[in-house]
Structures are given as structure tokens and as C-alpha cells.
């Protein structure tokens, strides 16, 4: 029988975690449900244990830290990740895991936006705008068409989980997983789901502005690391354009008079041009290094894939 692990990162979800566990047990009676308590100050752990979940602690604060420990410690064939706040309907879990079973996806995404329920249910201002902004940036950078980049309802196969280097510590983890899967060409499939807002009395841990800035910073960092040639080419182009803007009056003056009276402008323009060339050269070097890393990653992925297949054959 395939091993299914339901992963529930939690921080102060005493009010909802029991229902979430029971609902997932009803849908997946043979799955093991893991609740990772991220320093809750309420009775989240006690409630989760009383409902039959495997409860573990993650002392480093932040959802990214929880997901890192989950991926590292739990062994399964199929992983389902959701939140403990009862916003993701468990009845859609079968639609999420079926493409994983059929080997048609390494990661499935619970798309909250296509059905329109997210915008009807979510009462937090600017969250819809933030989702559209992040989605537009990533889809433009990677020429993709993912509808819901930041959803927390996902399913994974073992290959993805054991090869995912989790670098973020907080709520940028969903964005990081989306960018990583696009960059490393994992198979992705979106599954439209309904979304429901938190029940009354349950408070969101998200801060629209501070967490939004962290997500944008994560996109900026991963853009630099995954696409260094494009990243540094843009900065190089900016520097060269500034060099021309400052230097054209100097050149025009020299052509007309044979003299250069704007010496500081000439020095500044020269500095901008040199800086632009150096930035472009850095982009070229880093692009070669990134290509080498991708090749090494693919080889390591092949070794991991072979190990997973051997384990499946032994279990079969």
C-alpha cells in the first residue's frame, strides 16, 4: 500500500486543527497525518494528539522552517501539504494526489483562484492584489501560466520533496516551491479547488505588507540565483544607459568645440560605462556557473530517482 503523508504546519490553530485532522482522516483513512507545532501558545498540540495526529515540534519560527523539517524527516510516497486553519477543503485531496499517482506530476497545486471563491471568501485587504502581482512577476520571468502561485494546498511525489532545497524561513515557502519547480522543470499540474475563509475567532498569521515584502524579496533573490545572465544584463543595461545620458552632452560639446569643460560628467559617464561592462561580465560568469550547477543537479536527481525506484521495487 502506498504511503501517504498529510503535512499540517501549525501555529496557534487550536480552534480548527481538530476538524482539519478529522476531515483528512475521513478522506484518506490510511494516511498518516503529521502536525508540526511551530511554538504555539495555545493547545494546538494537545488537540492534534487527541484527534490521532502524529505531533512534532519545530522550534525555529516560520513556515519555511517547518516545511524544511517536514521534507527532511518524513518518508512517504505521496505528500499532501495543507494548512491547519480549515481554509482548504479536504474533499479535493483526491484530485490533488491522482496526478501524482499517475506519474503525470511531481507537484500539484490547489488553485484557489480559478473558481472565484478566494476573492469572495478572503476578507483581508490587498491579498488578491498581492497574489496577482506575484503571479504576474513569476509567469513573466519563467514564461509560465500558473494561476495560483502562493496556495498552501499542494501534493508532491517523493522525488520533489527529497530534492527541494528549502531556503526561505517564512511564508515565502510557497513562492519558493513554485519557482524551484519551474526552474528545474518538474511536472506541475493545477487542480481548481474551493476556498473558504477562516471561521470566526480564528486569526490569520499573515501580515499583508511585511510578508508581501518578504515574498518580493524572495522573488528578487531567486531571480538573481536562477537567471543571473538576465538579472545582471538588466543592471548592466541600466548602467550603460545612464552612462550615455551623462556622456552624450560631453561628446556633443567635444565635437562642436574640440574641448571638454564638463570634466566631472565625463568621469561619471566613463564610470557608468565601465561598471556596466563589469556587471555584464559578472552575469556571464555566473550564468556559466548556474548552468554547471543545473547539470550537477540533474545528475543528483537521476541518482535519487533510481534510489526511489529501487525502494519501490523492494516494497512491491
> Has residue 116 got a pLDDT over 80?
no
- pLDDT, residue 133, reads 79
- Give percent of the chain with pLDDT exceeding 70: 91
The owner of cell 561592462 is: 277
Per DSSP, the three-state class of 269 is helix
- As a three-state string, the secondary structure of 97-133 is HHHHHCCCCCEEEEECCCCCHHHHHCCCCCHHHHHHH
Q: Quote the radius of gyration of the chain (alpha carbons, Å).
A: 24
4 to 28, 78, 80: CA distances (angstroms): 8, 5, 8
Query: CA geometry: angle at 109 spanning 105 and 112, to 5°?
Result: 155
Of 97, 54, 52, 91, the residue nearest 77 (C-alpha): 97
- Binned at pLDDT 50, 70 and 90, residue 205 comes out as low
pTM of the model: 0.83
Kindly provide the b/e burial profile for residues 239-268, where b requires at least 16 CB atoms within 10 angstroms of the residue's own CB.
bbebbeebbeebeebeeeeeeeebeebbeb
**Sheet of strand 154-157: strand arrangement:** 54-57, 32-37, 4-10, 78-81, 154-157, 107-111, 188-192
Whether the per-residue pLDDT at 316 is higher than 70: the answer is no
pLDDT of residue 137: 84
From 83-92, 95-104, 185-194, 211-220, the region with the lowest mean pLDDT:
211-220
Q: Give the whole-angstrom CA distance, residue 274 versus residue 267.
A: 11
Structural contact between residues 24 and 133, judged by C-beta atoms closer than 8 angstroms? no
Report the alpha-carbon distance of residue 84 to residue 139 in Å, rounded: 28
255-285 pLDDT per residue, tens: 888 888 888 999 999 999 999 999 999 999 9
- Residue 29 has phi, psi (to 5 degrees) of -65, -25
Amino acid at each position: 500500500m502506498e504511503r501517504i503523508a498529510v503535512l499540517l504546519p501549525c501555529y496557534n490553530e487550536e480552534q480548527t486543527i481538530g476538524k482539519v485532522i478529522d476531515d483528512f482522516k475521513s478522506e484518506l483513512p490510511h494516511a498518516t497525518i503529521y502536525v508540526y507545532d511551530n511554538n504555539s501558545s495555545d493547545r494546538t498540540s494537545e488537540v492534534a494528539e487527541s484527534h490521532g495526529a502524529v505531533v512534532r515540534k519545530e522550534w525555529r519560527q516560520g513556515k519555511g522552517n517547518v516545511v524544511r523539517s517536514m521534507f527532511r524527516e518524513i518518508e512517504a510516497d505521496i505528500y499532501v501539504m495543507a494548512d491547519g486553519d480549515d481554509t482548504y477543503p479536504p474533499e479535493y485531496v483526491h484530485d490533488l494526489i491522482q496526478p501524482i499517482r499517475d506519474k503525470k506530476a511531481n507537484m500539484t497545486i490547489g488553485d484557489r483562484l480559478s473558481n472565484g471563491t478566494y476573492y469572495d471568501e478572503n476578507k483581508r485587504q490587498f491579498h488578491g492584489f498581492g497574489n496577482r502581482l506575484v503571479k504576474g512577476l513569476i509567469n513573466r520571468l519563467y514564461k509560465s501560466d500558473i494561476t495560483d502561485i502562493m496556495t498552501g494546498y499542494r501534493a508532491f511525489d517523493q522525488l520533489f520533496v527529497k530534492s527541494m532545497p528549502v531556503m526561505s524561513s517564512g511564508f515565502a515557502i510557497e513562492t519558493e516551491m513554485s519557482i524551484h519547480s519551474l526552474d528545474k522543470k518538474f511536472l506541475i499540474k493545477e487542480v481548481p479547488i474551493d476556498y473558504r475563509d477562516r471561521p470566526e475567532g480564528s486569526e490569520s498569521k499573515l501580515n499583508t505588507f511585511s510578508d508581501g515584502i518578504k515574498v518580493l524579496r524572495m522573488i528578487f533573490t531567486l531571480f538573481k540565483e536562477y537567471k543571473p545572465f538576465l538579472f545582471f544584463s538588466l543592471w548592466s543595461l541600466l548602467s550603460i544607459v545612464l552612462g550615455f545620458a551623462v556622456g552624450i552632452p560631453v561628446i556633443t560639446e567635444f565635437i562642436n568645440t574640440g574641448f571638454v569643460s564638463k570634466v566631472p560628467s565625463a568621469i561619471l559617464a566613463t564610470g557608468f560605462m565601465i561598471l556596466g561592462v563589469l556587471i555584464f561580465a559578472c552575469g556571464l560568469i555566473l550564468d556559466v556557473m548556474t548552468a554547471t550547477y543545473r547539470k550537477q543537479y540533474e545528475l543528483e536527481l537521476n541518482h535519487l530517482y533510481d534510489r526511489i525506484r529501487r525502494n519501490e521495487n523492494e516494497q512491491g
